[in-house]
Structure 1
Amino acid sequence: MDVSTANAVVTGAASGIGEAIAQRLLEAGASVVIGDLDAARLEATATRLDGDHPGRVAHVAGDASDPAHVAALIAAAGDPVNLFVANAGVFRGFGLEATDEEWASSWDVNVMAHVHAARALVPQWLESGAGCFVSTASAAGLLTQLGSPTYSTSKHAAVGFAEWLAATYGDLGVQVCCLCPMGVRTDMLLGGETTASDEGKLGMKSVTSAGETLEPLAVADVLLEAIAESRFFALPHPDVGTMYARKAADTDHWISGMQRFRASLEG
């Protein structure tokens, strides 16, 4: 896809990776509708972006896991949306003490929000023969996430859904790209580092000690490169691909390594 002509929607875009993706798309020439649950912060971000790119930014506050909100985002775009970035995500629920509510919200935002968006857009992309769906998953969806079973499991599911979309519609004009970073300097990372939960702190420590913590704009740059090159995976931390291959080649050895890694962080 040529993002310079894209009419895009980016969820979870009031800050962090979503805001960075929206900024890079606008700089490339796209028009963008941004969404987020935090209405005040979303408006401030939209104002900033519109100041730099007047007339090409709209915003709609709401819950990305609500199909009605997805419909509102698409409607706000005016012209048909041909790029959707399902970026909204939550990191909550630690250890086996994670509550049913935390499991449910993680599943709704990290997985079902992607399903709702795909349901709304893929049929029309099949008719037009073009469209691009981006799933912001995580390295946790390829490897795992120490500390948080809810995040690890839901991000694995997000990767699985993106793979299914690509296998089912990728040769019919629907491009699919799955973004899987490790540590990124966002509110989610900072929140995990300051949580009172020992499991939550373990999870964030495992991320920050496993590789470089990137700035959101660097992650957005890797994503746009992957879209331009029609690659399924966008891996801002290249080592993730190597670790993923090693995990697949010898899962027992990889799990033993993760156990040793966890023990070193707890020591």
Structure 2
Amino acid sequence: MFENQIIAITGATGGIGRGIAEMYIANGAKVAISDYKDCQETAKEIGAKAYICDVSDEASVKNFIASVEADLGPIDTYISNAGVGSGNGRYVAKASNESWEQAWQVNVMGSVYAARALMPSWVERGSGRFVVTASAAGLLNQIGSASYTATKHAAVAFAESVAIEHGADGIKANCICPQYVRSEMTKGMAMAENSQDGYLEPSDVANALKAAIEKDQFYVFPHEVVQEYFVNRAKYPDAYLDGMGKLKQKVGDAFAAAKK
């Protein structure tokens, strides 16, 4: 399905990024993976080409894209997958300005920087696909992490903007919105490992993306129940907030880094 397509993926040392890379490689694509640290070992294991990219740095993102295109050819699909999360602490706004800025730069601006570099050539040739790994938190809420929730909402909105602004140019967009997926970020997290809606594998997310592309669907729901929650949130907003408040009381502040 993706034979000889050039795919670039950020945050792909493990977790969802690696799972998506493996899916594309299995379907005949040429895949470039990147992370803020060396990912040569992962690349060797799965048959990809490795790069270093700090998505919070626009120059690093531009260099990653330019290097991939120089080495492999014009990028067909860009997967903006790198993400970070941190806890509130005892109060909703207790987290540091630095942690909020990091969340904004990585979870939102990393996609903006990539789109800024890619869109002119994609519009000119009339094709391209931009995929944002957001989160169910981008449609709902992540208890214990206001910065993650706020920036993932912004990530969803930016992905929608790509679809709206450039659909007529022949450019496709997808937004991946899973709940908990096995990764370094969720390792040891009780809320993840005990999730009533399932603790998915990265391959489940990759297969859901493939299915969404085949069906030409913007949203990717690896946990199908997220769409139901999203609809109910829109229909019954007060009930949604009340229910989330009760869930908060039940599970505690799982992301809290400190009590005071």
Deviation at residue 167 of structure 1 after TM alignment: 1.0
Deviation at residue 5 of structure 1 after TM alignment: 3.3
- Structure 1 alignment gaps of length 5 or more: 51-56, 194-203
- After TM superposition, the structure 1 = structure 2 runs for residues 96-115 of structure 1, keeping only pairs within 5 Å, are 96-115=93-112
Percent identity over paired residues: 39
Deviation at residue 58 of structure 1 after TM alignment: 1.4
2: CA distance, partners of 1:238 / 1:108: 29
Aligned to 1:251: 237
Q: Note if 1:180 corresponds to 2:177.
A: yes
Q: What SS does the corresponding residue of 1:4 show, helix, strand or coil?
A: coil
Residue 162 to residue 233, structure 1, CA distance change in 2 (3 Å): same
Equivalent position amino acid for 1:260 in 2:
K
Q: Note if 1:22 corresponds to 2:16.
A: no
Q: What SS does the corresponding residue of 1:81 show, helix, strand or coil?
A: coil
Deviation at residue 243 of structure 1 after TM alignment: 0.3
Aligned to 1:5: 4
CA contact 2:79–2:131 (8 Å) conserved in 1: yes
Q: What SS does the corresponding residue of 1:5 show, helix, strand or coil?
A: coil
Could you tell which deviates more after superposition, 102-111 or 164-173? 164-173
Runs (4+) off by over 3 Å: none
User: 1:60 aligned to 32, 36, 51, which one?
Assistant: 51
Residue 214 to residue 157, structure 1, CA distance change in 2 (3 Å): same
1: CA distance, partners of 2:17 / 2:223: 17
Q: Note if 1:44 corresponds to 2:41.
A: yes
Equivalent position amino acid for 2:228 in 1:
T
1: CA distance, partners of 2:166 / 2:248: 39
Equivalent position amino acid for 1:133 in 2:
F
Equivalent position amino acid for 1:90 in 2:
V
1: CA distance, partners of 2:232 / 2:193: 18
Deviation at residue 45 of structure 1 after TM alignment: 0.0
2: CA distance, partners of 1:208 / 1:146: 15
Q: What SS does the corresponding residue of 1:260 show, helix, strand or coil?
A: helix
CA contact 1:17–1:216 (8 Å) conserved in 2: yes
CA contact 2:12–2:18 (8 Å) conserved in 1: yes
CA contact 2:178–2:223 (8 Å) conserved in 1: yes
2: CA distance, partners of 1:210 / 1:119: 39
Residue 257 to residue 146, structure 1, CA distance change in 2 (3 Å): same
User: 1:211 aligned to 197, 211, 220, which one?
Assistant: 197
Work out the number of aligned pairs and report it: 247
2: CA distance, partners of 1:26 / 1:222: 16
Aligned to 1:32: 31
CA contact 1:60–1:72 (8 Å) conserved in 2: no
- Structure 2 alignment gaps of length 5 or more: 254-260
Q: CA RMSD in A?
A: 1.6
Q: C-alpha offsets along residues 193-213 of structure 1, whole Å, 9 cap, x if unaligned?
A: 2xxxxxxxxxx6278434100
Q: Note if 1:151 corresponds to 2:137.
A: no
2: CA distance, partners of 1:102 / 1:93: 9
2: CA distance, partners of 1:206 / 1:5: 36
User: 2:208 aligned to 210, 222, 225, which one?
Assistant: 222
Could you tell which deviates more after superposition, 91-100 or 149-158? 91-100
Residue 220 to residue 105, structure 1, CA distance change in 2 (3 Å): same
User: 2:76 aligned to 52, 74, 82, which one?
Assistant: 82
Deviation at residue 72 of structure 1 after TM alignment: 2.2
Deviation at residue 124 of structure 1 after TM alignment: 1.0
CA contact 2:186–2:192 (8 Å) conserved in 1: no
- Compute the TM-score of the two structures, normalised by the length of structure 1: 0.88
